[in-house]
Amino acid sequence: MFSIKQQIIQNSKKKIIVAGIAVIILLSFFILELIVVRRNAVKNRFGDEIAHVVTGHLLVNGKKIYKETQNNHQPLVYVFAGTTEKLTNPDSFFQLMRRTREAVFLYSVAWSLIFTCFFGIRIVPFIILFEILKFANLGHLLLGKV
């Protein structure tokens, strides 16, 4: 018979193995999704997303949001776009759009891994479903609703 301490250790090992499997499944899925994101990064343009990226560029260059720029969304999208530009230092607008969409992708990956740590393997099918549906609902773009 196992003691309570040995049972706790066995259960902990099983949980770690299950969590590892969930992370491997998610990372495999996200690698495939990254290929799709990179291939389609500059194909589809959406007016609001371009406005967010341009306003982020203006913020990087010292303009004040809502005073020197005309905006109608919360500031997070503009700060996100400006931070992406500041960190990646792109050479062209198309490269900036690509880097911004990749940053949105990485943001999504980070939250998916956080949810997996909290909820375990049960959340993985929902994350995969959400990530697939995200493309149909423009969730892969830098929009105020995302």
* Three-state DSSP string of 76-99: HHHHHHHHHHHHHCCCCHHHHHHH
Report yes or no on 118 lying in a domain: yes
Number of structural domains the chain divides into: 1
Mean pLDDT of 24-31: 85
11 has pLDDT over 80? no
Question: Which of 88, 74, 69, 65 is CA-nearest to residue 146?
Answer: 74
Q: How far apart are CA 76 and CA 132, in angstroms?
A: 24
The more confidently predicted of residues 71 and 84 is: 84
Report yes or no on 91 lying in a domain: yes
70 has pLDDT over 60? yes
Report yes or no on 136 lying in a domain: yes
Mean pLDDT of 14-19: 77
Question: Which of 38, 26, 53 is CA-nearest to residue 108?
Answer: 26
Mean pLDDT of 12-37: 80
pLDDT given for residue 41 in this prediction? 66
Report yes or no on 1 lying in a domain: no
Out of 11-25, 39-53, 82-96, pick the least confident.
39-53
pLDDT given for residue 44 in this prediction? 66
CA atoms within 13 Å, Cβ hemisphere of 20: 6
- How confident is residue 26, by pLDDT bands cut at 50, 70 and 90? confident
**Predicted model pTM:** 0.74
Task: Calculate the dihedral angle through the C-alpha atoms of 47, 48, 54, 56, rounding to the nearest 10 degrees.
Answer: -160
Report yes or no on 36 lying in a domain: no
20 has pLDDT over 70? yes
Range of the domain at 78: 45-143
- How confident is residue 25, by pLDDT bands cut at 50, 70 and 90? confident
